[in-house]
Amino acid sequence: MSRPPQPEAGPAHRLLADRLAAALARPVAQQPDWPDPERAQAVVAALSRAEPLVTPAETARLAERLAAVAHGEAFLLQGGDCAEAFAENTEAHQRANLGLLTDMAAVLARRAGRPVVTVARMAGQYAKPRSRPLDARGLPVYRGDLVNSIEPTPAARTPDPSRMLRARADAADAMAVVRDFRTGTRARPDDDGELYVSHEALVLDYERTSLRADLGGPEPRLASGLAHFLWVGERTRDPDGAHIALAELLSNPIGLKLGPRTTPEQALAYVRRLDPHGEPGRLTLISRMGHTRVRAVLPAIVEKVTASGHQVIWSCDPMHGNTYTSAGGHKTRALQHIADEVSGFFEVHRRLGTHPGGLHVELTGDDVTECLGGPRGLTEADLPARYRTACDPRLNAEQSMELATTVAELAAAGATDREVRLR
């Protein structure tokens, strides 16, 4: 049955506008301190008039695919740069990242015998949460190209709201590359040929600019036109803060990063708020515990959430809990630790009978030397050669493929266990 057209200022729209204003009025972490707030507001107004980057039909299709992941029938692969950078927004870089993701998806699908839902960290991943406000030089820290420049001068590090316009234009260009790439790969038998985009919903002056009422779900919500999937990061998941309140309002599928200090009770409280209607796959819990802690911390969280009956997606980010600084001063990660966290994640879910449904990774198809190990056995001495990331260290193509093979084997072993149990 089709609904009559909704008047733009109907009660549901007013309710949503009020709820959005209340969400944005909450305490908010990790926001740029724009030196000229009037200019920032003018940019927000301009962005609010821009065309959305994704369509409601695409986002609805992703929600359906994620329901299949939550039911244990498919696997979620999410990955891309830690931070997209304007200078790296070339078609070659984007195609290299998309090509790597689809190659990984093909290995996973073939070996684990399940479809893979592929979600790029792309077309909006321009803002970064930071642990400290100042860098080692005492300058305001780089917060991503959406906010300031990585160049270490006071002027370059001053937040500039015009950067949000550039980010939106570059995101539109990236989205065009994604659509073109998707058309070229639709014939592959091992996936459904669809590619989705995602980023961390961090800078709220950017995120608030493409929200439209979505009255098609279990309650009136706001659909973001900036990405198919948005997630809330480890540093902005204050239950009283604006980011969680905004995520509650979104109709897009959403993710939430969970670090090693998360308690089972906290996890359950997030799940109740972010998935109040029990929609399978609406919420992806992305654990990033570190390889030494995942086996100890994750089980109680999984048990508590599973007992509540909510069908979340359990995804593993084996990157952010395994970062350290090399002797030469490079932020790095060892593939061995990354693979060990994924193994621990699979062990936990295998033991509890839950579906280890997803992998969330920072990677690039470019031939960088940012993480250690892999087929060429990169060591700390190799890092300076091609260390190019604007933020966190990424797996290169061969390291990513090695990880995909490891994950595919873990997933295939799990599938066999289940078949044996069912017989």
From the list Mn ion, ligand PEP, none, which binds 52 (C-beta under 5 to 8 Å, kind-based)? none
Judged by CB under 6 A, the number of residues near ligand PEP is: 11
From the list Mn ion, ligand PEP, none, which binds 110 (C-beta under 5 to 8 Å, kind-based)? none
From the list Mn ion, ligand PEP, none, which binds 234 (C-beta under 5 to 8 Å, kind-based)? ligand PEP
- Residue 333 binding ligand PEP, by CB under 6 A: no
| Distance, CA of 333 to CA of 330 (rounded, Å) | 10
Which ranges in 218-293 belong to alpha helices (H)?
Answer: 242-249, 264-274
Please, which residue, 191 or 370, has the CB nearer to Mn ion? 370
- Residue 82 binding ligand PEP, by CB under 6 A: yes
- Among residues 392, 404, 334, 332, the alpha carbon closest in space to that of 125 is found at 392
| Distance, CA of 209 to CA of 142 (rounded, Å) | 23
- Residue 253 binding ligand PEP, by CB under 6 A: no
Question: Per the structure block, which two tokens stand in for 135?
Answer: 């860098």
Please, which residue, 275 or 370, has the CB nearer to Mn ion? 370
- Residue 84 binding ligand PEP, by CB under 6 A: no
Q: Residue-wise over 141-180: b if at least 16 C-beta within 10 A, else e?
A: bbbbbbbbbeeeeeeebbbbbebbeebbebbeebbebbee
| Distance, CA of 312 to CA of 302 (rounded, Å) | 10
CB under 5 A: which stretch of 76-84, 113-121, 156-164, 397-405 binds Mn ion?
Answer: 76-84
**Phi–psi pair at 283, nearest 5 degrees:** -115, 130
- Residue 84 binding Mn ion, by CB under 5 A: no
Is the backbone of residue 231 left (phi > 0), alpha (psi -120 to 50) or beta?
beta
Which ranges in 279-396 belong to alpha helices (H)?
Answer: 294-307, 335-352
From the list ligand PEP, Mn ion, none, which binds 290 (C-beta under 5 to 8 Å, kind-based)? none
Residues in region 280-299 near ligand PEP by CB under 6 A = 288
- Residue 129 binding ligand PEP, by CB under 6 A: yes
Residues in region 355-414 near ligand PEP by CB under 6 A = 392
- Residue 349 binding ligand PEP, by CB under 6 A: no
- Strand blocks (E) in 70-204: 75-80, 116-121, 195-200
| Distance, CA of 224 to CA of 231 (rounded, Å) | 12
To which H or E segment does residue 211 belong?
Answer: strand 211-214
Question: Per the structure block, which two tokens stand in for 300?
Answer: 């109680």
Judged by CB under 5 A, the number of residues near Mn ion is: 2
Least Å distance between CB 117 and ligand PEP? 18
CB under 6 A: which stretch of 38-46, 112-120, 229-237, 261-269 binds ligand PEP?
Answer: 229-237
β-pair partners for 78: 119, 360
β-pair partners for 325: 331
> Is there a contact between 118 and 77 (Cβ–Cβ < 8 Å)?
yes
Least Å distance between CB 83 and ligand PEP? 7
- Residue 208 binding ligand PEP, by CB under 6 A: no
β-pair partners for 27: none
Residue choice 143, 208, 257, 282 for contact with ligand PEP (CB under 6 A): 257
Residue choice 88, 205, 214, 392 for contact with Mn ion (CB under 5 A): 392
Please, which residue, 170 or 392, has the CB nearer to Mn ion? 392
CB under 6 A: which stretch of 206-214, 231-239, 245-253, 374-382 binds ligand PEP?
Answer: 231-239
To which H or E segment does residue 229 belong?
Answer: strand 229-232
| Distance, CA of 231 to CA of 252 (rounded, Å) | 10
From the list Mn ion, ligand PEP, none, which binds 257 (C-beta under 5 to 8 Å, kind-based)? ligand PEP
Residues forming the site for Mn ion (CB under 5 A): 82, 392
Residues forming the site for ligand PEP (CB under 6 A): 82, 129, 200, 233-235, 257, 288, 317, 320, 392
